[in-house]
Amino acid sequence: MSFYFEEIEIGEVLDLGDFKFTAELIKSYSEIYDPLPFHLDEEAARNGPFGAIAASGWQVSAIWMHCMCRTLHQLAEDRLSLGEPVAKMGPSPGFKNMRWLKPVLAGDVISYECEITNKRTTNSRPEWGILFIHNRAKNQHGEMVMEFDGIVFVERNIVLKEGN
Amino acid sequence: MSTLYYYEDFIVDESWHSIGVFSSTKDQIIDFASLYDPQPMHLNEAAGKASMLGGLASSGWQTGALLIKQMVEQLLTNTVNYGSPGVKEAHWLAPVFPDDCLSVRYKVLLKRVSNSKPHMGIIDFLIEAANQDDIKVMTMVSTQFIGLKTGGQT
């Protein structure tokens, strides 16, 4: 992570950047984790439900995590270069309402973003705050391909916390 | 050719169906995390120990991917499968460490025939993975589109 819990505002949107799904990347994931014909084989995919080779929905979601880590890493570097402290991110307890709305086909470029929908503190873990986030992925035509509601733990800033 | 299962073959009830076991080596955990979830606790031992997880642990995204793999290989390849519209909920309950042996099972939570595509049914599966100490590590509710034996398929 980079920002402390106290610095993050409800309604903020974080741009997580783009990711290109090549046929090679789709197949290398599907071979191991989702070996259905329409994720693996160009010929089968042409006659399948999507008309072309499509990424496993779970891969489209897991790449969200890649883009989130990439963005937070960059933000952390920026803060460190300014001499500012960097907040830790804790493990996620889970998510809800993950929807795969349109197939992601080989060659598609997907843009990801994350909106802060709510935040709260907990008594059981006073050093951590909980963020509720709504995540979206769109393809190069601007069509929404995936969304879900996530939960993450973010470190609290003792100085900011005591100032409140 | 194994038996092909249709929407009608799935019964909503309390019974659990085992769909095998899996484990990930340390190298497999690091490989997956390097691309999908490059956080220190999934990449190196010392950072894992210092984290809430207590040791180098698998990315939750990898555990989820492997639950889906078990469903695909043990069940969905033997159905008339039209893909999945999503996952209603997922919970990461306990860390997964290298070589942990995870047993996976599912039950059928609910089912209905699609209004817009009457040749297709919509089924919610509750999928669970537990480790060798019988501690539940992950659960998810996954929705699948499964073809009907009757209707629209003539």
Q: What is the ipTM of this complex?
A: 0.94
Residue type, B27: D
Q: Which CATH superfamily is domain B7-24+57-147 in?
A: Hotdog Thioesterase (3.10.129.10)
Six-digit token pair at A157?
Answer: 């800033």
Six-digit token pair at B136?
Answer: 């539940």
Q: Work out the pLDDT band at B18, boundaries 50, 70, 90.
A: very high
Spell out the long-range contacts of B109-116 with Cβ–Cβ below 8 A and sequence spacing 24 or more: B109/B12, B109/B141, B110/B12, B111/B7, B111/B10, B111/B12, B113/B7, B113/B148, B113/B151, B114/B145
Domains, chain A, ranges and CATH?
A: 5-163 (3.10.129.10)
Q: How far apart are CA A138 and CA A104, in angstroms?
A: 10
Per residue of chain A (164 residues), give pLDDT as tens.
588 999 999 999 999 999 999 999 999 999 999 988 888 888 888 887 778 899 999 999 999 999 999 999 999 999 999 999 999 888 899 999 999 999 999 999 999 999 999 999 988 889 999 999 999 999 999 999 999 999 999 999 875 555 54
Q: How far apart are CA B24 and CA B64, in angstroms?
A: 13
> Do residues A88 and B61 touch, judged by C-beta distance below 8 A?
no
Interchain proximity B91–A36, CB inside 8 Å: no
Q: Work out the pLDDT band at B3, boundaries 50, 70, 90.
A: confident
Q: Which residues of A touch B69 (CB under 8 A)?
A: 32-35
Average pLDDT, chain B: 94
In this complex, which of B64, B76, B91 lies closest to A58 when CB atoms are compared?
B64
What is the predicted pLDDT for the residue at A156? Answer: 94
Dihedral over Cα of A121, B49, B46, A60: its sign: negative
- Preferred mutation among A95, A102, A148 to probe B, highest tally of B CBs within 10 A: A95
Interchain proximity A56–B91, CB inside 8 Å: no
A100 touches chain B (CB under 8 A): yes
What is the predicted pLDDT for the residue at A1? Answer: 57
Residue A152: how many other CB atoms lie within 10 Å: 19
Place of tokens 């209603």: B88
Spell out the long-range contacts of B114-117 with Cβ–Cβ below 8 A and sequence spacing 24 or more: B114/B145, B117/B152
Q: How far apart are CA A152 and CA B73, in angstroms?
A: 31
Q: Is the pTM of this model over 0.95?
A: no
Query: Which residues does B151 contact at the CB level (< 8 Å), separation at least 6?
Result: B113, B118, B119
Query: Which residues does B39 contact at the CB level (< 8 Å), separation at least 6?
Result: A69, A89, B33, B59
What is the predicted pLDDT for the residue at B152? Answer: 52
Q: How far apart are CA B26 and CA A39, in angstroms?
A: 27
Interchain proximity A94–B89, CB inside 8 Å: yes
CA B41 to chain centre: 22
Interchain proximity A32–B69, CB inside 8 Å: yes
Interchain proximity A95–B53, CB inside 8 Å: no
What is the predicted pLDDT for the residue at B154? Answer: 42
CA B21 to chain A, closest CA, distance in angstroms equals: 14
Percent of chain B with pLDDT over 90: 91
What is the predicted pLDDT for the residue at A45? Answer: 82
B1 has a pLDDT exceeding 60: no
